[in-house]
Structure 1
Amino acid sequence: MTFTLSTTLPFDHIQHPDQFVSMEALHECARAVEEAGFTAGTVTDHPVPSARWLDNGGHYAQDPFVMLSMVGAVTTTLKLQTNIIVLPYRNPFITARAVASLDRFTNGRVILGMGAGYLKAEYKALGVDFDSRNDLMDEYIRAMKLAWTGEDFEFEGTGYKALGNRMLPTPVQTPHPPLLVGGNSKRALRRTVELGDAWHPFIVPKAVTDTARTANISGDEDILEAIAYMAEHCEKVGRKEPPKVICSSTFSLVGDWSAQEAIDHFAQLKSLGVSGAGASAFTDSRGEYLDQIRRFGEEVIARIDF
């Protein structure tokens, strides 16, 4: 299978702590995802979301690098993906150190999905300027890339300065793990071309993107327009190989979902030029979650030949 498939790991479902918030749950779910044949298991990033957002449909999130470290310890081939980390929340060298350590100790299994985020209250709680998030995002990617060289480096950023610093060991993957740039805006597309390896769009109905205050990417035409825009920007900046397009979750494993519908859905995405996507199971019990994941492996992943 060359078309990659990720799945959202269920450890944010804190409303069911006996089902998903334990080491036993982590072991069972991580191993089931790997055995089903998924390319990657993903976690998200909300260190301190506002109560208002949580009470209006938002969700909690565990620390992404803690969770992926534990998942990496009980799997051997599953890729460990952030989907996404909000890059401006942390000093870039702290993030670069976490990524390099995780990639080194899991023998090159990290995929770094990242975005600028949209929760103003969370930015405020973390002491980061919300209006500067896009500039910080670009700056932090450049800073991390320098740190991952393993060489002595100098870098002056916003409120911090490296005057001859070094970070070892470097990631196993060279020059660094794949950088998936999230975001649906034109700026995010330009950032992908200039600094990333793949575009990681948020493909949802327009009503959801309106609520999240991000550009709408909801159908085939939107995807094709974005790919064309990136191709134009590649020409403008001299990038020869265009970024891949790797979507986040685009198919839900809910109830008696159709395996053929899933296969057709992913085939359609591939026909547009998409290289990967995700499928996520939403259940109240660990047993049902494991059943859905195993069924997807047997009836979808095993049958995909593109």
Structure 2
Amino acid sequence: MSFPVSISLPFDHIDHPEEFISMEAVAEICRTAEAAGFSAGCVTDHPVPGSRWLDNGGHYAQDPFVMLSLIAAVTTKLRLHTNILVLPYRNPFITARSVATLDVFSGGRVILGMGAGYLKAEYKALGVDFDARNDLMDEYITAMKLAWTGEDFAFAGTGYSAPGNRMRPVPMQSPHPPLLVGGNSRRAIRRAVELGDAWHPFFAPAAVTATARTVSLAEEEDIDAALAYLHAHCEKVGRAQPPQIILSSVFTIKPGYSPQEAIDIICGYREKGTHGAGASIFVNSRAEWCELARDFGERVLPRLG
């Protein structure tokens, strides 16, 4: 089986609505990505980002569950990946309901990448305590897992309580879709070990991760230290099978890109024990996006084997 590579989808490029903001664009782009051999299509989550962040390199985002539902409707195999969903933004049972519905109606294609987020202005606009976000992450994962059992459950959370509730249908994937825990910090690594199916880090230099206000994982020694910490925490808590390591985008596909460079980078991470990675395409037209996706599917993906 070929090494899985997801692709970030361009439906956040609102500066080019005629190219990317339509159902025609969703159908053409997602079918192209699926035919090219990408394992999943990724969408992100910024319901109401702060204007200062937007004006300094940030980006808009469509609603992730609406977007993934549209993608599911025009594809048959492409997996539906949140990269990432900011979990504390929503009541966990609302999220659990959305995930289960999407998983059932898509035939079990959801991958739930999630993180604590980092935008104070967005947290404030949504009425969620920014400083409590890490504790909320842990709590919400626990709450969602209970809901996904399909059995009666009781759970007391922060500002809400389920005294005796039930959610059905449960996700098609059992016991639930893969839970990919995002974040580069040691707290995120511990969360991946204790509550997740995979760790979903962003391996990028400090100049890039500064925008996302996360720990830089670019240098060889930084990555090795993070992986060593993950395995040490598995041993500490008694997790026999470590979580998989599925990377966010590690390569940007641009006009004139080097297929061999992409292969070397992705295979280098694979040799470190990763189980999947992501790629991105940044162009201003739908036709060029699809052309590059097809090219990557012909010249790179089959050689990752």
The residue type paired with residue 104 of structure 1 is V
Residue 94 of structure 1, CA deviation:
0.3
Residue 213 of structure 1, CA deviation:
2.1
Among all aligned residue pairs of Structure 1 and Structure 2, give the percentage whose two residues are the same amino acid.
Answer: 68
SS at match of 1:232: helix
Q: 2:73 — aligned with what?
A: 73
Q: 1:241-260 counterparts in 2 under 5 A?
A: 241-260=241-260
* Alpha-carbon distance between aligned partners in 2 of 1:71 and 1:256, rounded to the nearest angstrom: 28
Q: TM-score, normalised by structure 2?
A: 0.98
Calculate the aligned-residue CA RMSD, in Å: 0.8
* Alpha-carbon distance between aligned partners in 1 of 2:211 and 2:65, rounded to the nearest angstrom: 28
**What is the CA deviation profile of residues 93-146 of structure 1, one whole-angstrom value per residue up to 9, with x for unaligned ones?**
000000000000111100000000000000000000000000000000000000
Q: 1:136 — aligned with what?
A: 136
Matched, 1:297 2:305: no
CA pair 2-240 structure 1, distance change in 2 beyond 3 A: farther
Q: 1:37 — aligned with what?
A: 37
Q: 1:75-224 counterparts in 2 under 5 A?
A: 75-224=75-224
Q: How many residues align?
A: 305
* Alpha-carbon distance between aligned partners in 2 of 1:249 and 1:188, rounded to the nearest angstrom: 18
* Alpha-carbon distance between aligned partners in 1 of 2:71 and 2:211, rounded to the nearest angstrom: 32
Residue 221 of structure 1, CA deviation:
2.3
Q: Name stretches of at least 5 consecutive residues in structure 1 with no aligned partner.
A: none
Mean CA deviation greater in 94-103 or 253-262? 253-262
Residue 220 of structure 1, CA deviation:
2.8
Q: 2:265 — aligned with what?
A: 265
Q: 2:227 — aligned with what?
A: 227
**What is the CA deviation profile of residues 147-205 of structure 1, one whole-angstrom value per residue up to 9, with x for unaligned ones?**
00000000000000001100000001011000000001110000000000111001111
- 8 Å CA contact 1:12–1:59 kept in 2: the answer is yes
**What is the CA deviation profile of residues 3-30 of structure 1, one whole-angstrom value per residue up to 9, with x for unaligned ones?**
2100001100000000000010000001
**What is the CA deviation profile of residues 67-88 of structure 1, one whole-angstrom value per residue up to 9, with x for unaligned ones?**
0001001111111000000000
* Alpha-carbon distance between aligned partners in 1 of 2:119 and 2:93, rounded to the nearest angstrom: 23
SS at match of 2:302: helix
Q: Name stretches of at least 5 consecutive residues in structure 2 with no aligned partner.
A: none
Q: TM-score, normalised by structure 1?
A: 0.98
SS at match of 1:6: strand
* Alpha-carbon distance between aligned partners in 1 of 2:62 and 2:203, rounded to the nearest angstrom: 23
* Alpha-carbon distance between aligned partners in 1 of 2:304 and 2:230, rounded to the nearest angstrom: 28
* Alpha-carbon distance between aligned partners in 2 of 1:34 and 1:272, rounded to the nearest angstrom: 27
SS at match of 1:146: helix
